Structure 1
Amino acid sequence: MSALVKRNLLRYFQSKSNVFLSIFSPLLILGLYEIFLKHNLSINFKDQMVLLNQWLLGGALSVTTLTTSFNILKTKVTDELGGQKANLLVNGLSMRQIMGSYLTASGIVGFIMTTIIYFIYVIFFELQGEFFINFEQLGNVVSMILLNTLISVAINGAIVTFIHDESALQGVGTALNTMSGFLVGAYVPIGIVPTGAQHLMQGWPGFLTASVFRNQLITTPLTLSEKKYLGTIINWGNHQLTHVEIYLILISVSVILIIITMLGSRE
């Protein structure tokens, strides 16, 4: 199976368009933020640019893992359409092994590309003198990237399992690239959107990871109202989720989705 994982990785990184499309969403988020959003947000937060940049990075990291891990999973559909899946089965690999190779490669790509986006954002903001790296939290950020990779691969794997044609694949990919930024509150803080949309966002796993990222990245003390406005805390009903509860929710959802994916991959 390791050879198949390597082959999936090579196919991804050899396609410049695939790599670019994978990081298009986080780069778009950065561009829109710099051109349209930064000034208005800075008025509300009295020019606290370091705070706002750290908040933005938290959302971008959550989006990146989802979009990059999805793009490499396209290989699953192209293999089916091109007849490669049948060749792999003839060579003795089971459908679960084949799907496992896609998920493994997806996880590797998701982690690598998210780490790259982290450094792109940090370097960009550092050159402007508008970022502060909390090195004590760096290990926690890396750990969160790993957990975000797990839930992103699980979500994308469950989706791609039931896609068998290219038009549907492109449609889902476009929807993910478009909606992921909004669902994690990367374009506007959650405090701006209507209550119904807030409930939707707080139920999305990507928003949970973005919230933890923001807690780990933001170095500026915040009031309770500011935390709610920026989405660094999450309330389900009258209960504020702790980080441990968020981790357990993400791991549980990941396990369920991976089981669904593997069951859906049976011959």
Structure 2
Amino acid sequence: MLKKLIYRNSSLYFRDRTSVFFSLLSVLIVIALYILFLAKMQVDSVNQQTNGMLKGDDLSYLINSWILAGLLSITTVTSTLGALGTMVNDRANRIVMDFKSSPLSAMTYPISCVITSFAVGAIISVISFVVYGAYIYFGTGYLFGIGMILKCLGLICLSAMMNAAFMGFLVSFFSTNSAYSSASLIIGTVIGFINGLYVPMGALPETIQSVLKCLPFGHVASLFRRVLMQESIDLCFKNAPVSVRESYTHDFGVVLDWNGNEISSYISITFILIVSLVSLVLFFINFRRKKQEI
């Protein structure tokens, strides 16, 4: 029965073109901002730090890999959130009461929602990765290696899992489609700031940086950047002083630090796993608490 519910939820999501569109809206916004502002901002910053040494495909590879990392960190949020719209619609139309009064286990329905959200987030993110990766290849001639691709796929699964649990807990409080739509719009708008994509981390005040580092989303973005930008950073800063490389990686959120100490990838992954587990437990608790809700 769990498989049937997952299939049902997935079919309802992909059948609703509006949900799919809004899941990808943040990606379209990022691409538009990249064309209008972000690319030039990166070019000016890197040229200033390297005295204009970088040009052409190398610089384009660096900037596009940074954009791709940010896109994936956003897509795993918006797509998992979009897939949870089915749960809100079921509650708003009292369909969820049919599931709760059926012989199904109390946890079967919420588990199916989380798994569906994870699957949708992973699928949409992989598609985004393939499409933008192809764009980078045809635009610069650089192709991601097998090891880098496998690491990125692992991060996509990790991020989709965390966001499915976290967004599931958040969405479990909504009983109407209007409340859910409003929350989706707000989250889709601000996630780019939280991930340090619209405004680089180094350009924000220290207090705001500290707050963002307490959220898992910035850690996800940092992990994607560490993987996808490793080759381009080595290539672009091979002849630059170490201080220039470190300044770039900190300013653009490739590396996060706390009180001057670098936050390692292992710490970020552990933090994300803890957030996933806690969010999942809270989601199930809140769903059971609302089981008498009409």
TM value normalised by structure 2: 0.87
| Distance (Å, rounded) in 1 between the aligned partners of 2:72 and 2:178 | 27
The amino acid across from 1:31 in the alignment is A
Q: Secondary structure at the match of 2:255?
A: coil
Contact 1:49 1:130 (C-alpha < 8 Å) held by counterparts: no
The residue identity in structure 2 corresponding to 1:231 is G
The 3-state SS of whatever aligns with 2:84 is: helix
Which is worse superposed, 254-263 or 83-92?
Answer: 83-92
Q: Once the two structures are superposed, what CA deviation does each residue of 1:130-165 show, in whole Å capped at 9, x if it has no partner?
A: 654233211111111111011111210110111112
For 1:246, the equivalent position in structure 2 comes to 268
SS of residue in 2 equivalent to 1:45: helix
Asked if the contact 1:122/1:131 (under 8 Å) is kept, the reply is no
How far apart are residue 42 of structure 1 and its match? Answer: 0.8
1:175-221: CA deviations, max 9, x gaps?
11001111101123211222222222222211101101101011122
> Root-mean-square deviation (CA), in Å?
1.5
For the pair 1:133 / 2:134, whether they are aligned, the reply is no
Structure 1 residues 90-118: Cα deviation after superposition (integer angstroms, max 9, x where no partner): 32124421111100100000000000111
Hey, what does 1:8 align to over in structure 2? 9
The one-letter amino acid paired with 2:23 is: S
Aligned to 1:161: 172
Gaps spanning 5+ residues in structure 2: where?
Answer: 48-54, 238-244
Aligned positions, number: 267
In the alignment, is residue 98 of structure 1 matched against residue 109 of structure 2?
Answer: yes
How far apart are the structure 2 equivalents of 1:154 and 1:87? 23
CA contact (8 A) 1:53 1:130 kept: no
**For residues 236 and 150 of structure 1, what CA distance do their matches in structure 2 show?**
25
From 229, 232, 247, the equivalent of 2:254 is: 232
Corresponding residue of 1:258:
280
Q: What secondary structure sits across from 1:19 in the alignment?
A: helix
The whole-number CA distance in structure 1 between the counterparts of 2:271 and 2:182 is 28
Question: Does the 8 Å contact 2:73/2:221 carry over to 1?
Answer: yes
**Is 2:159 aligned against 1:148?**
yes
Runs of 4+ displaced beyond 3 Å? none
Report percent identity of matched pairs: 25
Shift of 1:166: 2.0
2:187 alignment partner in structure 1 = 176
CA contact (8 A) 2:60 2:140 kept: no
